[in-house]
Amino acid sequence: MAPNRLAAETSLYLRQHADNPVDWQAWNAASLAVARASDKPILLSIGYSACHWCHVMAHESFEDAATGALMNRLYVSIKVDREERPDLDRIYQLAHQALTRRGGGWPLTVFLDPHTLLPFFAGTYFPKAPRYGMPAFAEVLQGARRWWDEQREQVREQNSALQGFLSDYGREASHAGELSDAPLLAARTRSAASFDADNGGHCGAPKFPNSGGIERWLAAARVGEKTAANMASTTLACMAQRGLHDHLAGGFFRYCVDERWDIPHFEKMLYDNALLLPLYAEASVQFESTEFSVAAEGIVAWLQAEMRADGGGFFSALDADSEGVEGKFYLWTREPFTTVLDGEARDIAMRHYGLDRDPNFEGEAWHLHAADAHGDETTRQRLLAYRNLRVRPARDDKRLTSWNALLCTGLARAGVALGREDWIDEAVAIFEAISADMDARGRLPAVLGRTVTGFLDDHAYALQAALALLQARWSMVVLATAIRLAETLLRDFADGESGGFYFTAHDHEWLPQRPKPWLDESTPSGNGVSALALLELGFLLGEPRYLDAAESTLRSGWTDIGEHPQAATTMLAALAEYRAPLPLVVIRGDVDALNTWREGLRNRIALPLRVYAMADADETLPPALAVKPHAAQGAAVLCRGTLCLASCADLETLFTQLRELARE
């Protein structure tokens, strides 16, 4: 059988379906035109390469000749990689939720009117034969097509109502009153009420590493909130010690299926590790924890060993499956320990990694835990070398712009926290790879080296990365890129009438909805990151347009923030910055003097603050920074929001100003 059209696609997920008996097409103008001309409904299947249930449905149905023939006869079938086209995934996940009254997931299976692109039936995974309380996929195919053929008017009525829902979703009136701390207080109360005191994170299962929530707890802990400190440290410790963590290679899996973080869903995603890296690095300093610094170092070691791309940046994911079995690469029996180790070393290792207890995976194998962060390094290396002889999970070779920007931020922050200049070097290299793909308009692609149009997250996360780099290592080139990114957000993504930012640019292809995401999902809200980054850049440069755009974003998303504060942690971080901006210190002087000032601040000040140390000449700086005093031995200006204090010529004066600011 000849490969279908997906064989020529760049996405690994699409290419994985190139040999299916299904006449798959990619989402493009030509495939949509075919559907409209034939008046055939579109069967849209959305997934990603590391998705276990996507593989299951592919093996059961898409590789089956009879099912493929049925799909080809009844539908124009289109495959979409959700990581390349998050706009389509957002729209059709929301539509699925509206049609089914339950959450979605992957694979997402939706049946579209080819003329309006609105779904008239939706689901996720469908089995080949009836089970799990679900009908057989063939029955779904036939039933949906029968409804399209015989009840077209009913389909149109439903789609009209659905279009109204999609158009109105997230479009509440902008808040005109005070931007109070009520959502911050509500989030604090709700997160404490749902906290799992034994295992960290939220109560119940499945358990995801909620990086945004941990970030808020750490921020509260830095200003003395003991409950938040306990919640953050407990969660980070349990995740590091148990099954979410890959104790041999480093890095963290996507989530765990149980409440104890024992057994993960074995995908390893770039974004999870990018978000967790700075949390573990900064928490290691905050709590003086070797365990947390080891976890941070393990993340970077795994990324550099397995995920770095030759062309710059990092790959997106490792599959959950190998040899068609979920988790097979990571699971152990006792026999390999006997092969690799002997005597006391074997006994110690088995106790350390949990093999002295009953099997924890389906009663027949072990997924490794670690008793502490101090296992024998030689033993770890031997076990890792043995594991690396196995058939490895597939690696998705996409270099997603947004996820690489998250990693750039994570490496820069972690590098500052732990004094790792090599990590900052890595962050600089990622940012250079991202910047190299910026076009003349200041626009980025969704995938580095490819032509897929970029989205809000690509530009907002890149702006956030630039600001993190400026604190780690000042660069006028990075500052210029940050300004270009901010201007791109305002020009191409901003809602000039109601405030906030659309997920797609103004020149994006027409779709049934133009999402405006307020809430965090697996990655931070693009609106939240935009608001936070524009506040930071606006205060640094004294640029009121950036500050006004951030405020209008908070006002536009106020209803969603208030209704779902626990799911809006990035918007809450922007709200906290709006209400009480972090202190900002601009230091100018010779390079050696700047290092002395930075080290002094790191060693003596616990108060959260942003530090920009600049060695540039006056004429190269923007006006708001050029007026800050420069002295060879260093001179600093402390600002909070739009208020700046008198300049300091020595560290002791700056320390005095910071202590006074902390008492206010």
Place of tokens 């989030």: 187
Confidence of residue 314 (pLDDT cuts 50, 70, 90): very high
Query: Does 11 share its domain with 111?
Result: yes
Q: Is residue 482 part of a domain?
A: yes
Identify the domain boundary among 118, 143, 168: 168
Across the range 118-145, mean pLDDT stands at 95
Q: Left if phi > 0, otherwise alpha if psi is -120 to 50, otherwise beta: which for 204?
A: left
- pLDDT of residue 663 exceeding 90, the answer is no
What is the number of residues in the chain? 664
Query: Does 555 share its domain with 642?
Result: no
pLDDT in the model for residue 662: 78
Q: Residue 454 in contact with residue 443, Cβ under 8 Å?
A: yes
The pairing of strands 610-614 and 583-588 is parallel
267: which 2 tokens? 């995908």
The dihedral of CA 511, 517, 521, 526: what is its sign? positive
Query: Does 70 share its domain with 13?
Result: yes
Q: Is residue 181 part of a domain?
A: no
Cα first-last separation, the chain:
73
pLDDT in the model for residue 221: 94
Q: Which of 551, 554, 658, 640 has the alpha carbon at shortest distance from 597?
A: 658
pLDDT in the model for residue 618: 57
* Average pLDDT of the chain, as a whole number: 95
Q: Domain holding 146: CATH number?
A: 3.40.30.10
Q: Is residue 505 part of a domain?
A: yes
Query: Does 155 share its domain with 221?
Result: no
Q: What percent of the chain has pLDDT over 70?
A: 98
Q: Is residue 537 part of a domain?
A: yes
pLDDT in the model for residue 452: 87
Rounded to whole angstroms, the Cα distance separating 554 from 570 reads 11
Range of the domain at 67: 5-168
Identify the domain boundary among 396, 428, 443: 396
Q: Residue 527 in contact with residue 500, Cβ under 8 Å?
A: yes
Q: Domain holding 574: CATH number?
A: 1.50.10.20
Q: Domain holding 645: CATH number?
A: 3.40.30
- pLDDT of residue 364 exceeding 70, the answer is yes
pLDDT in the model for residue 231: 98
- pLDDT of residue 605 exceeding 70, the answer is no
- pLDDT of residue 616 exceeding 90, the answer is no
Query: Does 146 share its domain with 292?
Result: no
Identify the domain boundary among 396, 426, 459: 396
Rounded to whole angstroms, the Cα distance separating 642 from 541 reads 10
- pLDDT of residue 621 exceeding 90, the answer is no
Q: Which of 613, 211, 583 has the alpha carbon at shortest distance from 406?
A: 211
Query: Does 17 share its domain with 79?
Result: yes
Query: pTM, whole model, 2 decimals?
Result: 0.97
Rounded to whole angstroms, the Cα distance separating 539 from 335 reads 60
Confidence of residue 311 (pLDDT cuts 50, 70, 90): confident
Q: What percent of the chain has pLDDT over 90?
A: 89
Q: Is residue 179 part of a domain?
A: no
Query: Does 595 share its domain with 639?
Result: yes
Q: Residue 512 in contact with residue 161, Cβ under 8 Å?
A: no
Query: Does 391 share its domain with 508?
Result: no
Rounded to the nearest 10 degrees, the angle between the axes of helix 211-222 and helix 182-193 is 110
Count of domains forming the chain: 4
Region of poorest pLDDT, from 454-468, 493-507, 623-637: 623-637
Across the range 439-448, mean pLDDT stands at 97
Confidence of residue 246 (pLDDT cuts 50, 70, 90): very high
Query: Does 439 share its domain with 354?
Result: no
Query: Does 372 share its domain with 503?
Result: no
Q: Is residue 188 part of a domain?
A: no
Confidence of residue 375 (pLDDT cuts 50, 70, 90): confident
Encode pLDDT of 40-71 as tens digits.
Answer: 999 999 999 999 999 999 999 999 999 999 99
Query: Does 426 share its domain with 535?
Result: yes
Region of poorest pLDDT, from 183-192, 285-294, 416-425, 609-618: 609-618
pLDDT in the model for residue 660: 87
pLDDT in the model for residue 64: 97
Encode pLDDT of 278-296 as tens digits.
Answer: 999 999 999 999 999 999 9
Q: Is residue 333 part of a domain?
A: yes
Query: Does 9 share its domain with 87?
Result: yes
pLDDT in the model for residue 619: 62
Confidence of residue 631 (pLDDT cuts 50, 70, 90): confident
Q: Is residue 211 part of a domain?
A: yes
Rounded to the nearest 10 degrees, the angle between the axes of helix 569-579 and helix 526-541 is 20
User: Who wins on pLDDT, 293 or 621?
Assistant: 293
Could you check whether the bond before residue 206 is cis, i.e. omega within 30 degrees of 0?
yes
